[in-house]
Amino acid sequence: MPAVVLVGAQWGDEGKGKITDFLAEAADCVVRYQGGSNAGHTVELDHEKFMLHLIPSGILHPTKLCVIGNGVVIDLGKVIEEINGLQQRGIDTSNLRISNRASVVMPYHKKIDEIEDRTKKIGTTKRGIGPTYADKISRTGFRIGDLLHEEDFREKFTAEVARKNRLLVEFYNEPGFDAEEIMAQLMAQIEILKPYIADTGLLLHNTLKAGQKVLFEGAQGTLLDIDHGTYPYVTSSYPTAGGACVGTGIGPTEIGRVIGVAKAYTTRVGEGPFPAELLDETGELFRTRGAEFGTTTGRPRRCGWLDTVILRYAARINGLTDLAITKLDVLDSFPTIKICVAYRYKGERLTEFPDSLHVLEDCVPEYIEMPGWNQEISHITEYADLPLATQAYIAKIEELSGVKQALVSVGPKRDQTIVTTRLF
Ligand code: IMP
């Protein structure tokens, strides 16, 4: 299967970084297609832990081509920081390629994100993601390739900074930015990044044409999708499988498989409705046992039981062919385990994820309860060796989501992954 897309099936933080790193072993190329440094992908190797925000998790495999596609918004300082951090730890980054069509996150985007979230209260990561995508859609943004034409860029950029300063100074009563100062910084940064910049759409086309295996690594998750998520409590990109095409320039017929990564329970960071959220000590248990704190912002994640209404929705929106179920070991010591199977809304039973936030806000979860397994599973390497109660829990997830699992993860390390289906 030449092209495989990996997406978050919930609200992000499903453990995509670990699964991408694991699958990267069999891939030739790993690609990020949306989002920016709002993402936080954690990969734990034997004695080391890596936190990646922009660079695909495949970078930890030295021979793999790693691509940041056109759909990503790039904070140049952050990507350089990440490259330097990896190099200092002996990781070769020469196989990294960055799209010349990717949008650049400017200092004013981060400032506007911070200011506007004070009133919008989305709970953004303040990385400038929304304002950068807004400018891209308004056609007032700048792409990586624009920075390679200094004189033309200077003229347009100076005019844009003047417009942004009017907004900041006159409307928000905040200090403005010095265009020349940012210009100098950008020119120095683009010089460092030059060797990495490429026409990545063409590169991926040729890679696929040569029969190589490409893994598309989604960031965030289905319910944070700008169109299909819990709008307006979403990110500003397309984390769903369709985003892999628009965010990289490959056609949909290239995609053979779509893997949905789902945590064995549910978490969410930031504001917005979350029907299965637990505000009690069980929620607190998930947070402590699962170390549920944001990789990018350190914020505590909101936690709840697994919601299969969401998984059915993710299966539909992404066309999931397989599930990767992560953090199963976090449930090791629960005597019984609940699964949300439907919502109750004003006396009605809903089995499909509502298309209205007003409805979702008033949904009450309907649970079934299953026996827990009450034993450690993080050392198990064969599916058949999992306790029967764990296997029954997984089978119930498959039944309720309509998607078969292809792998389950029982710990943060590479070898704590049980594979039942070959994905490449
Ligand atoms: P933004 O992407 O910074 O604009 O934030 C918008 C919403 O998406 C907020 O609720 C964030 O907490 C959430 N979000 C953004 N990136 C991630 C992620 O990588 N994991 C989980 N939530 C995220």
> 75: CA distance to ligand 1 center in Å?
16
On the 0-12 / 13-18 / 19+ scale of CB atoms within 10 A, 355 is exposed
Determine whether the shortest distance from the Cβ of 18 to ligand 1 is under 6 A.
no
Determine whether the shortest distance from the Cβ of 122 to ligand 1 is under 6 A.
yes
User: Quick check: 235 and 226 in contact, CB under 8 A?
Assistant: yes
Please state, as a whole number, how many other Cβ atoms lie within 10 Å of the Cβ of residue 263: 27
Two structure tokens written together for 275:
């029907």
Q: What is the DSSP string of 168-203?
A: IIIIT------HHHHHHHHHHHHHHHGGGEE-HHHH
Determine whether the shortest distance from the Cβ of 226 to ligand 1 is under 6 A.
no
Cis peptide before 232 (omega within 30 of 0): yes
Which residue has the least CA distance to atom 15 on ligand 1?
38
Determine whether the shortest distance from the Cβ of 124 to ligand 1 is under 6 A.
yes
**Nearest ligand 1 atom to alpha carbon 127:** 3
Determine whether the shortest distance from the Cβ of 270 to ligand 1 is under 6 A.
yes
Would you mind telling me the total number of residues written for the chain in this entry? 424
On the 0-12 / 13-18 / 19+ scale of CB atoms within 10 A, 174 is middle
Q: What per-residue string of b and e applies to 61-81 under the rule 16 or more CB within 10 Å gives b?
A: beebbbbbbbbbbbbbebbee
The single-letter code of the amino acid at 317 is: I
> 274: CA distance to ligand 1 center in Å?
14
**What is the C-alpha radius of gyration for the chain, rounded to an integer number of angstroms?**
21
How far apart, in whole angstroms, are the C-alpha atoms of residue 174 and residue 145?
A: 30
Which of the listed residues 120, 235, 271, 297 should we mutate to test ligand 1's pocket, taking the one with most ligand atoms within 8 A of CB? 235
Determine whether the shortest distance from the Cβ of 54 to ligand 1 is under 6 A.
no
**Nearest ligand 1 atom to alpha carbon 126:** 3
Q: What angle do CA 132, 142, 54 make, to 5 degrees?
A: 55
Q: How close are the terminal C-alpha atoms of the chain, in Å?
A: 5
Best CA proximity match to 104, nearest among 37, 56, 57? 37
Residue with tokens 């700008």: 226
Torsion over CA: 390, 393, 398, 399 (sign): positive
Best CA proximity match to 296, nearest among 156, 139, 126, 154? 126
Determine whether the shortest distance from the Cβ of 302 to ligand 1 is under 6 A.
no
Backbone angles phi, psi at 282, to 5 degrees: -65, -40
Alpha helices (runs of H) in 211-250, residue ranges in sequence order:
243-246
How far apart, in whole angstroms, are the C-alpha atoms of residue 364 and residue 368?
A: 13
> 260: CA distance to ligand 1 center in Å?
18
Determine whether the shortest distance from the Cβ of 53 to ligand 1 is under 6 A.
no
Torsion over CA: 333, 40, 128, 139 (sign): negative
Helix (H, G, I), strand (E, B) or coil at 254: helix
Determine whether the shortest distance from the Cβ of 189 to ligand 1 is under 6 A.
no
Q: Which helix (H) or strand (E) holds 360?
A: helix 357-361
Backbone angles phi, psi at 87, to 5 degrees: -60, -40
Annotated catalytic residue within 41, 53, 61, 228: 41
**Nearest ligand 1 atom to alpha carbon 125:** 3
Best CA proximity match to 15, nearest among 316, 406, 358, 410? 410
Eight-state DSSP code of residue 20: H
Which residue has the least CA distance to atom 1 on ligand 1?
124
Annotated catalytic residue within 13, 135, 322, 329: 13
41 is catalytic: yes
CA 70 to chain centre: 16
117 is catalytic: no
> 6: CA distance to ligand 1 center in Å?
18
Determine whether the shortest distance from the Cβ of 409 to ligand 1 is under 6 A.
no
Helix (H, G, I), strand (E, B) or coil at 295: coil
Helix (H, G, I), strand (E, B) or coil at 420: coil
Determine whether the shortest distance from the Cβ of 125 to ligand 1 is under 6 A.
yes
> 220: CA distance to ligand 1 center in Å?
7
Output the pLDDT for position 1. Answer: 61
- pLDDT, block means (10 residues), the chain with 424 residues: 93 94 94 95 83 90 94 98 94 96 98 96 96 98 98 98 98 97 98 98 97 96 98 97 98 96 96 96 94 87 97 98 98 96 97 96 98 97 97 98 97 94 88
> 127: CA distance to ligand 1 center in Å?
9
Q: Return all residues near 269 (Cβ < 8 A) that are at least 6 apart.
A: 11, 12, 13, 123, 294, 297, 299, 301, 302
Q: Kindly report each contact of residues 178-183 with a partner whose C-beta sits within 8 Å and lies 24 or more positions away, as own/partner.
A: 182/106, 182/107, 182/157, 183/154, 183/157, 183/158
> 107: CA distance to ligand 1 center in Å?
19
Backbone angles phi, psi at 167, to 5 degrees: -60, -50
